[in-house]
Structure 1
Amino acid sequence: MANVVMDQFLTDLQQDKFCSSYEIACKTINYLRHVISVARFSTAAELMEIIQKEGKKISSIQPSAYVVGNMVRRVLKIVREEYATLLGQTGESVGKDSLHRMLTAAEAGDDYSLSFSELKSTVMESIKEYIDEIEVSIHNVSAQAIEHIHSNEVVLTIGKSRTVEAFLKHAAKTRKFHVIVVEGAPNFEGHILAKSLAHSGIETTIITDSAIFAIMSRVNKVIIGTHSILANGGLKATVGSNLVALAAKRHAVPLIVLAAMYKLSPLHYAASTGKDATFARLGSPQSVLDYGTAGTDQLSDVEIHSPMFDYVPPELVTLFISNIGGNAPSYMYRLLSELYHPDDHAL
């Protein structure tokens, strides 16, 4: 039964059936947990090799889902940490890096060849704790809402984000404010968010994408979600987010990004060419131009692109709010070193 569930995960990932980064993160971490539980290994090096092999496989299935790679890297970091802890208990090393160890690591490298019978159980326990952390991440982000949203403010957002929705609803318990939702063409997910906020008693207005710049002068702050946070603090966000960010910058409106730490990726945007095969993901052109709106003769030489994501550079972002608190875009490099091991950045 477990194998059937795991195979179904790979199929759903390939067919892009997951509706949120949170769902992808939970499914991926549980998949890796199953892989570890049935794997046969005697050392941490063998276990990391197994995880890397599986990680490459599932990452190649859906390269644009950066969260998949993030989960693989996080599990590898957990293995390294648990191995270091077990190694420290034997008196041969310590769990924390010393200054000398940091300076000599590049020359000597880390040795994961010792065998510990407790390694699998400790790794499985740490992964369970990390799953619990992911599950409460949205709550931890939304709990900070009253520190950033004040009474009688006008807040603008775009599209639909579970984190933004929870954040605004939490603030509405003690604050009265107005939310402007950009509908987010061509998917129009903003209508779903606007309806949900209105049902919760929040004063909500929905606008078209073309009205963003005109309405921005009345906005106090912009709050958006994101698909992924890149290594430089830039965003891989829903299409239209860059337009919102540019308008906010022009009117000196702060842009706040809500994202749990599992969305932070060590990858960079290929700005030199402006193209990135894993970044520039296209949706069906049906949502942009219906097949029945014109004859085939008129459309025979037409290319229709429907991008799903925008790149938002870090200089347009004012603040990141995650499950561990608020940070500036320039602090993302520091957080990367805490979440992932440098050797795992390239799977």
Structure 2
Amino acid sequence: MADTNPQNPTAGAELSPAPAKDQKSPKADTKQAQPKPNGTEVTATGPNGEKLSGAELKKRAKAEKAARREREKADRQGPGGGVPHSGGQDKAGNQKPGKPWQKVEVQQHKDDSVAGSKGHHKRTTSTAAADHQKNLALRGKGAQGGAQAAAKPPKDANQVSLFGHLYGQSRRTTLAGVGKDVHPAVLALGLQMSNYVICGSNARCIATLLALKRVIESYTTPPGHSLSRHLTSHHLSPQIDYLVSCRPMSVSMGNAIRWLKLEISKVDPDTPENEAKEDLCDSIDNFIRERITVADQVIATSAGGKIQNGDVVLTYAKSSIVQQTLIEAHKRGVQFRVIVIDSKPLFEGKHLARALATAGLEVQYSLMHAVSHAIKDATKVFLGAHAMMSNGRLYSRVGTAIVAMTANEFDVPVIVCCESVKFTEKVALDSIVSNEVAPPDELISPLPLTHTATTTTTTTATATPDQTGAATAGEAQGVKGSPLSTWRETDNLLLLNIMYDVTPAEYIKMVITEYGSLPPSSVPVVHRLSTNS
């Protein structure tokens, strides 16, 4: 007699004749319909009601298993968790830990909880999808609670929403929390930049390179590492991160640091460490001399030749290259007058007016509100640059665009003096997308002074030589008696202290670089030449 026990299907297949094509295989029947422990019989069917073969059942089981694994992976990576609960039993009858994607079920009968998984059939796709939707709802509460627990602190109500993407991390003003890997020279430099003791694109670039030079001199390559690989990633990166936390890098600083990293990557691993460090320090000195010092001399000579006798040169704030240009023209014996336009909070024009007056030039000092009156006497406008963008626009101290547009309105040529190290491949269309936001308290001024800060050079002599824009900014913070001292508590009042603005290229007559005089449209060409050289 044939053995038809489902546990031994092979024996039954040997004694029974082969079934016809339209007959169903006993093997398939036994796998399609297996009795449940309670005596009921369940038949697995497809979406159209047809019975599934063993291969189809196996394929569907594999797909369900893959779907469960995907849900498990998604739940582990999701922000919220599910509701903890019992996860059922394994084949040995032991309790399994609960999993977040499993459906929470109420135990109704003791027999159902004791029964093993051997006799249970797998859930169909429709049942799994329904349970998944319920589990999503359950996880929604957990995810919402987790999001609330890990929610970021509320946004500062005193921030201007249009520039909200620029605020980011507050500027570092102390050494609290600084890593031990930061060099003391870099620590001092960061605080000096944050407090405007070192201000200006060229000054910050030179100071950064000199500080990194000291970092390289004190560096020792660990055993088993090469200088070209370890110095940049493990030693220079903490220094740069600290400087960025004190104040965002200028374009010239970014170009100089990229150049330095490229030079480090070119160091031959077979070169002795002392020789490699000496070569890097010499390269830094050559970069400062060629790209900044000598470039400034060439620009000052070229731009100074455009100043004629009887000219009235108007400039804004303070630029080291403009100052050098004006002094160079004065040394050649050209008789001209200078108008310095200035604005808060840094009042950099005071230092320029003092330096020019000390050199023997006739200087007129005015604030921004008088630019439309001062421009009537001007014959040329000389401006410095923080950066020249690839689309020919000038990125400089906030207020520069107003001066350039006013000069264009009065048909006064605007000349920009800029080194090629300040050129960038970036494009700027406005001052909103990319800018630097300084603390708004720097805009708060004390009560009006008894004298007027207008025209003569004697006005600028009241400040001591060691005073900087930081003194003005620090004096403004916490000023008692100022009308804006309680601005944070005043409704509908916000202070925005952005550092730079963008001047359209059509307002610029000429850009003078160490490569010569060129129109703003030629900026990307010069940038490519200076980068490849």
Deviation string, structure 1 residues 282-323 (Cα, Å, up to 9, x no partner): 344353454523384996122122333222222322222234
Pick which of 238-247 and 2-11 moved more.
Answer: 2-11
Change (3 A) 1:30 1:39: farther
Q: Contact (CA 8 Å) 1:236, 1:311: kept in 2 or not?
A: yes
1:285 is matched with 441
Change (3 A) 1:147 1:116: farther
The answer to whether the aligner puts 1:310 opposite 2:506 as a matched pair is no
The answer to whether the aligner puts 1:69 opposite 2:226 as a matched pair is no
Q: Contact (CA 8 Å) 1:157, 1:224: kept in 2 or not?
A: yes
Change (3 A) 1:17 1:335: same
Task: Give 5+ residue unaligned stretches, structure 2.
Answer: 1-181, 447-478
Deviation string, structure 1 residues 197-217 (Cα, Å, up to 9, x no partner): 233332222233223223334
1:320 is matched with 511
**Amino acid paired to 2:482:** T
Change (3 A) 1:32 1:191: closer
Deviation at 1:333, TM superposition (A): 1.1
What SS does the corresponding residue of 1:305 show, helix, strand or coil?
Answer: coil
From 468, 473, 490, the counterpart of 1:300: 490
Which structure has more relative contact order (CA 8 Å, sep 6+)? It is: 1
**Amino acid paired to 1:263:** K
Change (3 A) 1:46 1:71: same
Distance 2:425 2:193 in 1: 21
Distance 2:487 2:368 in 1: 30
Distance 1:14 1:239 in 2: 18
Q: Contact (CA 8 Å) 1:64, 1:281: kept in 2 or not?
A: no
2:528 is matched with 337
**Amino acid paired to 2:504:** P
Change (3 A) 1:7 1:330: same
The answer to whether the aligner puts 1:19 opposite 2:199 as a matched pair is yes
Deviation string, structure 1 residues 236-270 (Cα, Å, up to 9, x no partner): 22221110111122222211112233322333336
Deviation at 1:186, TM superposition (A): 4.2
Change (3 A) 1:49 1:233: farther
Normalised by the length of structure 1, the TM-score is 0.74
**Amino acid paired to 1:129:** N
Change (3 A) 1:229 1:122: same
Distance 2:263 2:410 in 1: 43
Distance 1:194 1:9 in 2: 26
Normalised by the length of structure 2, the TM-score is 0.50
Deviation at 1:44, TM superposition (A): 5.2
Task: Give 5+ residue unaligned stretches, structure 1.
Answer: 84-113, 342-347
What SS does the corresponding residue of 1:218 show, helix, strand or coil?
Answer: coil
**Amino acid paired to 2:524:** Y
The answer to whether the aligner puts 1:117 opposite 2:271 as a matched pair is yes
The answer to whether the aligner puts 1:148 opposite 2:333 as a matched pair is no
Q: Contact (CA 8 Å) 1:224, 1:257: kept in 2 or not?
A: yes
From 246, 262, 273, the counterpart of 2:405: 246
2:418 is matched with 259
Deviation at 1:43, TM superposition (A): 7.7
Q: Contact (CA 8 Å) 1:25, 1:262: kept in 2 or not?
A: no
Output aligned runs, 1:137-286, within 5 Å: 137-173=295-331, 174-269=333-428, 271=430, 274-276=431-433, 279-286=435-442
Q: Contact (CA 8 Å) 1:78, 1:127: kept in 2 or not?
A: no
Deviation at 1:171, TM superposition (A): 0.4
The answer to whether the aligner puts 1:126 opposite 2:296 as a matched pair is no
Deviation at 1:75, TM superposition (A): 1.7
Deviation string, structure 1 residues 68-92 (Cα, Å, up to 9, x no partner): 2121122234457x57xxxxxxxxx
Change (3 A) 1:212 1:53: same
Q: Contact (CA 8 Å) 1:6, 1:31: kept in 2 or not?
A: yes
**Amino acid paired to 2:250:** A
**Amino acid paired to 2:318:** K
The answer to whether the aligner puts 1:57 opposite 2:247 as a matched pair is no
1:29 is matched with 209
What SS does the corresponding residue of 1:172 show, helix, strand or coil?
Answer: helix
Deviation at 1:196, TM superposition (A): 2.8
Distance 2:326 2:369 in 1: 24
Distance 1:297 1:216 in 2: 34
Task: Work out the percentage of aligned pairs sharing the same amino acid.
Answer: 24
Deviation string, structure 1 residues 32-54 (Cα, Å, up to 9, x no partner): 33444526354856666568845
What SS does the corresponding residue of 1:179 show, helix, strand or coil?
Answer: strand
**Amino acid paired to 2:207:** K
Deviation at 1:221, TM superposition (A): 1.1
| CA RMSD, 1 decimal | 3.3
Q: Contact (CA 8 Å) 1:288, 1:306: kept in 2 or not?
A: no
Deviation string, structure 1 residues 18-71 (Cα, Å, up to 9, x no partner): 222222112221233344452635485666656884586256322253332121
Number of residues paired by the alignment? 306
Distance 2:527 2:203 in 1: 22
Q: Contact (CA 8 Å) 2:321, 2:417: kept in 1 or not?
A: yes
